[in-house]
């Protein structure tokens, strides 16, 4: 099913024609009973014609549409706002073209590493093909909600909560990439309903309560290791720079044992978490 424009005309002209016809009939006395022969015969058909003609008139509000069906056949859609006249026998179903959003509930799923997590998202969408929305799915609003939850579960199963290797895409560390992948996943699923996904964003992401404390300790340990690694790398660089500076400026000449002692003292001073107390040596004391 593909959307197409329905055959229609501006409703003002048919309305004027209807008013003129009614005025003419009243003037001729068909409704007043002045013509004893033609009045009763034309009264019922005239009333039916007026009612039928009125059914062809309809109003389309901004960001709304009407889907027309005639004896079970789709005849087209009217998406332009205004006052219109179309086939009086056609049914005119309402479809909203306004932007809507869906806030998913917090879902409990397993990530790519099997860790239970809680995840939720908001999906911004709108109908772009009224024919698909009305005839290809039972209820396009409910269809979008269910497919959004399904896509969110599928996304969580394919990515870990946090990266465990360099360059690994994770739910927590790559929000923009995850949002794009979620939008593409939802769009693929709701394409059949004539729906366009405008935006998709995660609104809630956390470990499940039963493993939250364990994962928190793991994150803290990883943070400590990363900090220690940075401190050691910086300390080694500073010691290397100090030795090269002493040698290039000819401040003092150190043998290998003295260099080892200096490196040991500097590393302890730079890496140690507690404050180190310097010891000043003024010279050797002989007995």
Residues 6+ apart with CB under 8 A from 154: 185
Q: Quick one: tokens of 68? A: 């027309």
Q: Are 107 and 153 in contact (CB under 8 A)?
A: yes
- Please indicate whether residue 237 or residue 77 has the higher confidence score (pLDDT): 77
Check pLDDT > 70 for residue 280: no
pLDDT class for 228, splitting at 50, 70, 90? Answer: confident
Give me the torsion for CA of 177, 179, 184, 187, rounded to 10°. -170
Instruction: Answer yes or no: are the C-beta atoms of 94 and 64 closer than 8 Å.
Output: yes
| 55 has pLDDT over 60 | yes
In Å, the largest CA–CA distance within the chain is 151
Plot region of 265 (φ>0 → left; ψ -120 to 50 → alpha; else → beta): alpha
**Model-level pTM?**
0.69
Question: What is the bridge-based pairing of β-strands 57-60 and 9-10?
Answer: unpaired
> DSSP letter at 36?
T
Residue 272 is predicted with a pLDDT of: 67
Q: For residue 167, how far is the Cα from the chain centroid?
A: 24
Angle value at C-alpha 186, between 180 and 187, nearest 5 degrees: 85
Q: Distance between CA 227 and CA 224 in Å, rounded?
A: 5
Q: Which helix (H) or strand (E) holds 181?
A: helix 175-190
- For the record, the structure tokens of 29 come out as 């006395």
Q: Give 86-117 pLDDT, tens digit per residue.
A: 999 999 999 999 999 999 999 999 988 888 89
């Amino acid at each position: 099913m593909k959307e197409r424009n329905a055959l229609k005309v501006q409703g003002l002209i048919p309305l004027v024609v209807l008013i003129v016809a009614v005025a003419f009939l009243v003037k001729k006395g068909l409704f007043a009973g002045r013509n004893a022969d033609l009045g009763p015969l034309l009264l019922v058909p005239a009333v039916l014609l007026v009612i039928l003609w009125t059914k062809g008139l309809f109003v389309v509000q901004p960001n709304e549409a009407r889907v027309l069906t005639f004896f079970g056949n789709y005849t087209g859609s009217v998406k332009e706002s205004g006052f219109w006249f179309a086939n009086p026998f056609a049914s005119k179903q309402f479809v909203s073209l306004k932007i809507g959003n869906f806030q998913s509930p917090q879902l409990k799923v397993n990530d790519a590493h099997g860790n239970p997590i809680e995840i939720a998202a908001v999906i911004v969408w709108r109908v772009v093909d009224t024919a698909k929305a009305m005839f290809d799915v039972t209820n396009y609003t409910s269809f979008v909600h269910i497919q959004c939850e399904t896509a969110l579960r599928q996304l969580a199963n394919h990515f870990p909560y946090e990266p465990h290797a360099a360059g690994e895409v994770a739910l927590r560390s790559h929000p923009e990439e995850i949002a794009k992948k979620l939008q593409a996943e939802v769009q693929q699923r709701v394409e059949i309903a004539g729906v366009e996904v405008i935006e998709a964003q995660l609104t809630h992401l956390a470990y499940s309560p039963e493993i939250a404390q364990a994962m928190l300790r793991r994150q803290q340990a990883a943070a400590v290791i990363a900090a220690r690694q940075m401190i050691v790398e910086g300390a080694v660089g500073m010691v290397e720079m100090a030795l090269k500076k002493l040698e290039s400026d000819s401040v003092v000449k150190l043998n290998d044992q003295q260099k080892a002692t200096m490196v040991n003292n500097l590393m302890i001073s730079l890496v140690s978490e507690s404050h180190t107390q310097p010891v000043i040596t003024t010279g050797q004391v002989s007995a």
